[in-house]
């Protein structure tokens, strides 16, 4: 199920979307506003200007030196070649900047990181190469006819605020939490005495879970703090009930403790 909602945060009206993940479970995200996306873009372009200005300065130095030295290596044809190479490098800097940062920083560029927003896929999963490539290569269309007008118009009227690149790449831009989502996930790997008492022999029942279920468990625990508190509690309860039923246990008293325990047993069995 997918949907859309709005919520008040101070004086601003924030849009909220529900994305359908694995096991047909909907996860809530807050969309990044156009203002924060524009500011992130401005910051990123200012950062990109640094190497481009350096390359331009080098061309100026080379051209000046060639004009005064009279050496053949600084002929007009050589300057044309150098200028062409710098144009190619500038192109690679411009297009590669967004793709590389979004992949290594999980959907964020330096500008997005400052503005606390990031890019994810429509189903809530992290960005992959093809999605990032498509959304960024189509910036050339979003820029038409000038100053990202096409992209801004598209984002303004689309219910998920998608520019043209997002439509083709299957991506949305959402807010990130103030707290690192995986912090609690890696707090401990040992068994909890309370959970161990409530679910004796839990590790022996793990063979009932398939790969998709364990991936869902991992992805949810890593992203749970991106959700609002009540949707997170509801989803934790539903997910814990699903896993408890699969393993032949009653509904757990503490859903998130139970899910953390399962994660530790599945991914770190030697430390349990």
Distance CA 134, CA 137 (A): 5
Rounded (to 5) percent helix, strand, coil in the chain: 65, 10, 25
pLDDT score, position 65: 66
- 27 three-class SS: strand
Distances, alpha carbon 43 to alpha carbons 46, 47, 49, 50, 251, in Å: 5, 6, 10, 12, 48
Bridge partners, residue 20, by sequence: 26
pLDDT score, position 171: 93
pLDDT score, position 188: 44
Every domain of the chain and the residues it spans: 1-176, 184-271
Query: Which residues of the chain are modeled with pLDDT < 70?
Result: 1-14, 16-28, 62-79, 177-192, 226, 228, 269-272
160 touches 174 (CB < 8 A): no
pLDDT score, position 131: 92
pLDDT score, position 20: 57
pLDDT score, position 2: 39
Q: Residues 95-150: pLDDT tens digits?
A: 889 999 999 998 999 999 999 899 998 877 788 999 999 999 888 888 888 777 88
**pTM, to two decimals:** 0.58
């Amino acid at each position: 199920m997918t949907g859309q909602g709005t919520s008040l945060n101070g004086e601003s009206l924030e849009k909220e979307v529900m994305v359908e993940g694995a096991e047909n479970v909907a996860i809530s995200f807050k969309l990044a506003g156009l203002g924060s996306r524009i500011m992130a873009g401005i910051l990123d372009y200012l950062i990109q200007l640094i190497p481009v200005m350096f390359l331009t300065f080098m061309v100026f130095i080379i051209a000046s030196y060639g004009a005064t030295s009279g050496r053949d290596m600084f002929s007009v044809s050589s300057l044309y070649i150098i200028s062409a190479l710098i144009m190619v490098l500038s192109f690679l800097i411009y297009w590669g900047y967004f793709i590389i940062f979004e992949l290594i920083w999980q959907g964020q560029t330096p500008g997005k990181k400052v503005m606390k927003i990031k890019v994810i896929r429509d189903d809530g999963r992290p960005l992959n190469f093809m999605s990032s490539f498509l959304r960024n290569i189509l910036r050339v269309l979003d820029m038409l006819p000038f100053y990202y007008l096409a992209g801004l118009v598209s984002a303004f009227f689309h219910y998920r605020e998608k520019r043209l690149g997002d439509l083709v790449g299957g991506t949305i831009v959402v807010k990130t939490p103030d707290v690192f989502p995986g912090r609690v996930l890696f707090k401990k790997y040992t068994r909890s005495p309370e959970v161990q008492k409530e679910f004796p022999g839990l590790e022996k029942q793990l063979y009932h879970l398939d790969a998709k279920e364990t991936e869902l468990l991992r992805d949810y625990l890593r992203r749970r703090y991106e959700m609002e508190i009540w949707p997170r509690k509801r989803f934790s309860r539903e997910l814990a009930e699903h896993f408890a039923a699969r393993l032949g246990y009653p509904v757990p008293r503490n859903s998130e403790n139970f899910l953390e325990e399962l994660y530790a047993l599945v991914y770190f069995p030697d430390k349990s």
